[in-house]
Structure 1
Amino acid sequence: MAIKVLVVDDSSFFRRRVSEIVSKDPDLEVIGTAVNGAEAVKLAEQLKPQVITMDIEMPVMDGITAVRQIMAKCPTPILMFSSLTHDGAQATLDALEAGALDFLPKRFEDIATNKDDAILLLQQRIKALGRRRIYRPIAPRPAPVSPSTRPNMTGAVAGREVVQPVRPSLRSQTPHRASGKKYKILLIGTSTGGPVALQRILTKLPASYPHPILLIQHMPAAFTPAFAARLNGLCAINVKEAENGDQLRAGCAYLAPGGMQMMLERSGAYGRIKIIAGSADMNYKPCVDITFASASKLVGGDALAVILTGMGADGREGARMLKNMGATIWAQDEASCVVYGMPQAVTAAGISSKSLALDDMAEAILTESARG
């Protein structure tokens, strides 16, 4: 049975274009279109689509407000279309916090250099979201960390850790027990659903977290500065977009810049970051495999690497290299993933030693770090 799609955009041209692309795939069916957010909320309740594509800027009611109302009334997987600008990045992150699951650039030439590839990617994203049977909206955004409570770049504690609001969750039945292994670094790779997943984990880490953290999130170059700044405002640890030459420090998370590749080189206690241009033949910029592989050469087995929700298999080969050096690899479990692609790849290959629910991940990381 075809996945039912509702297309929402105030532009008649864009509604028609998206509808045509969706309808070309026999596994997808457009069951309605809406010209603004208010109409989208009504049609979502009436038509019960399995996926909604949503514009951000619309008259009567904008896309972000519509997402909030749809998630409150009839939770549905939503794919946002966004401009690749600073304002577009901020709005898209707001939409993801409101409950949208994924986003794509509104200009198809920004999705892929080849038109057919762009069409295929859009169809694949919609089908991946349409396979989600249940979606639980996220809890309200935690309060930002004030400058007086922020740690310095050495990871020293200054003030109290952020307290997370109570929220519904899928948790593992068996609590995690520390392996006793020592670590020098935490690595996290993710894609679709990653922005919300990373926020869920990182906001639970205290300012005194004892290791540097490398974050590889598939995201356009225009988005990573805004995403890093947003996480930095919410977390007790420091979060920044990685820059070439950054010395790794405990209690700081470094987000790989979009369109580039993040590697490590030997320097100081933990090493330093090397940022290089992403080659044209690479599917992912940044790429989890590249960062993980680089880390395996620098820290060997003294790493904890986590693969979170995302399409495809990026991270599998880099995780394999880390595991061969003795590192510990975890994957997010299927039930809590937006898309069980990347975690499934490392799990099916026998690379990950543990599958954890998203809401258990931070606690398990802290338990491991207490021994490391």
Structure 2
Amino acid sequence: MAVKVLVVDDSSFFRRRVSEIINADPRMEVIDSAVNGKEAVEKTAQLKPDVVTMDVEMPVLDGISAVRQIMAQTPTPILMFSSLTHDGAKATLDALEAGALDFLPKKFEDIARNREEATSLLQQRVLEIARKRPLLRRATRPASTSGTGQTASPAGGVRTPARPASRPAVGTSSSSKAPARFTATGKRYQVMAIGTSTGGPVALQKVLTKLPANFPLPIILIQHMPATFTSAFAQRLNGLSKITVVEAKDGDTLKPGHAYLAPGGMQMMIDGRPGAARLKILDGGERMNYKPCVDVTFGSAAKIYGDKVLSMVLTGMGADGREGARMLKSAGATIWAQDEESCVVYGMPQAVAKAGISSEDLPLERIAERILVELNLK
């Protein structure tokens, strides 16, 4: 059965463009469209699509508020479209926190070299997040649809509470694979490295916000994200976390309790020696599929730190991180992977797990706990 898609945008041109791309794939069909957030909420409840594509800025009810209401009333996988600006980045991150699963820029040429690549990317993203619909629907709890607790949004319309009690916990798991209690391996570490892609912004937030201010290691973060998004994302994480989170800059020295987010469009490598290591921020490279690339950063960490790296591969599409994790394992480092149930897309962690590289597969909600136990902080 074809994946049913509801397309939401106040631009008739963009609705038509997205619809044409989706309908070009026989595995999907656009069942209807909406011109504002209010229509989107109503039509999602009525038509129960498998996926909703959603614009951020719309009249009557903005996209972020619409996401919150949909996730509270009729939980559905949502793909956001936004502008590649600082404000667009902040709004997109708000939408992801509200429950949207993924995002793409409205200008497809910003992420694709040609029309065919852009078409394939959009189709692939819709199909991937559609797989999460059964999990979202299982997590549904009765929700109130009254206006109680709503406040006016800056953009006008209605804004629901930031974390409605009825919102399903996407990216959580009660996986039976994880033990009731973790045990430290006794290894000693000098750096922690985390690589992720689709679903990563929410996953990183869940992990980093649970770490204490006195966290003893520097942390390297590689998140597939456009260049204009990483600064806003680092600022958000820094504001929510007890540790310090910054967008990495060339020459940064690695300090305990600091997390360094690789800049979008660039590559991040570690240079020097343990105890005096610095970051090198390099041009992304025309031939590289990912900018930043987890393999590149993990590989440099293996070279500098050897077995003293605690690394994780979290939710994401594709297999980036597998070869870098292989290098880390060859050096004796520790590699964990997020488990399938708690991933938005079980691509990157699956690649690591299937290759026999990861030593543990962990539910997202317990990764921070596992880190604290491993470092004897709990």
Cα deviation digits, residues 154-210 of structure 1 (max 9, x gap): xxxxxxxxxxx9x96423441221111111111000000000000000000000111
Q: Which residue of 2 aligns with 1:195?
A: 201
Matched positions, count: 344
Output the TM-score relative to the length of structure 2.
Answer: 0.89
Q: Which residue of 1 aligns with 2:52?
A: 52
Deviation at 1:257, TM superposition (A): 0.2
In 2, are the aligned partners of 1:52 and 1:77 still within 8 Å (CA)? yes
SS in 2 for 1:112: coil
In 2, are the aligned partners of 1:208 and 1:237 still within 8 Å (CA)? yes
1:324 to 1:371, Cα distance in 2 relative to 1, 3 A: farther
The 5 Å alignment of 1:296-307 reads 296-307=302-313
Deviation at 1:93, TM superposition (A): 0.6
Q: Which residue of 2 aligns with 1:294?
A: 300
Q: Gaps (5+ residues) in structure 1?
A: 138-164
1:246 to 1:303, Cα distance in 2 relative to 1, 3 A: same
In 2, are the aligned partners of 1:67 and 1:99 still within 8 Å (CA)? yes
Distance 1:371 1:297 in 2: 27
Deviation at 1:268, TM superposition (A): 6.5
1:353 to 1:270, Cα distance in 2 relative to 1, 3 A: farther
Q: Structure 2 counterpart of 1:275, which letter?
A: I
Q: Which residue of 2 aligns with 1:171?
A: 174
Q: Which residue of 1 aligns with 2:147?
A: none
Q: Which residue of 2 aligns with 1:101?
A: 101
Deviation at 1:111, TM superposition (A): 2.1
Deviation at 1:282, TM superposition (A): 0.6
Distance 1:57 1:349 in 2: 42
Matched, 1:17 2:29: no
In 2, are the aligned partners of 1:211 and 1:251 still within 8 Å (CA)? yes
Distance 2:110 2:25 in 1: 21
Cα deviation digits, residues 87-121 of structure 1 (max 9, x gap): 10010011011110100000111120211001100
Matched, 1:68 2:65: no
Deviation at 1:78, TM superposition (A): 0.4
- Between the aligned residues of both structures, percent identity stands at 66
Q: Identify the range of structure 1 (29-38 vs 170-179) with the bigger mean alpha-carbon deviation.
A: 170-179
1:323 to 1:20, Cα distance in 2 relative to 1, 3 A: same
SS in 1 for 2:227: coil
Deviation at 1:269, TM superposition (A): 1.1
Cα deviation digits, residues 66-91 of structure 1 (max 9, x gap): 00000000111100001000110010
Distance 2:271 2:377 in 1: 25
Q: Which residue of 2 aligns with 1:123?
A: 123
Cα deviation digits, residues 263-308 of structure 1 (max 9, x gap): 0001561511000000011110000000000100000111111000
Q: Which residue of 2 aligns with 1:134?
A: 135
Of residues 275, 280, 284, the one that matches 1:274 is 280
Of residues 322, 327, 352, the one that matches 1:316 is 322
In 2, are the aligned partners of 1:187 and 1:305 still within 8 Å (CA)? yes
SS in 2 for 1:321: helix
Cα deviation digits, residues 32-81 of structure 1 (max 9, x gap): 10000000000000110111000000011110000000000011110000
Q: Structure 2 counterpart of 1:32, which letter?
A: D
SS in 1 for 2:127: helix
Matched, 1:255 2:261: yes
In 2, are the aligned partners of 1:171 and 1:360 still within 8 Å (CA)? no
Structure 1 residue runs of 4 or more that deviate by more than 4 Å after TM superposition: none
Distance 1:188 1:338 in 2: 16
Q: Structure 2 counterpart of 1:77, which letter?
A: P
Deviation at 1:370, TM superposition (A): 1.7
Q: Structure 1 counterpart of 2:102, which letter?
A: D
The 5 Å alignment of 1:231-250 reads 231-250=237-256
1:266 to 1:371, Cα distance in 2 relative to 1, 3 A: farther
Of residues 349, 365, 376, the one that matches 1:359 is 365
Output the TM-score relative to the length of structure 1.
Answer: 0.90
Q: Which residue of 1 aligns with 2:230?
A: 224
The two structures, once aligned, show a CA RMSD in angstroms of 1.5
Q: Structure 2 counterpart of 1:186, which letter?
A: M
In 1, are the aligned partners of 2:339 and 2:349 still within 8 Å (CA)? yes
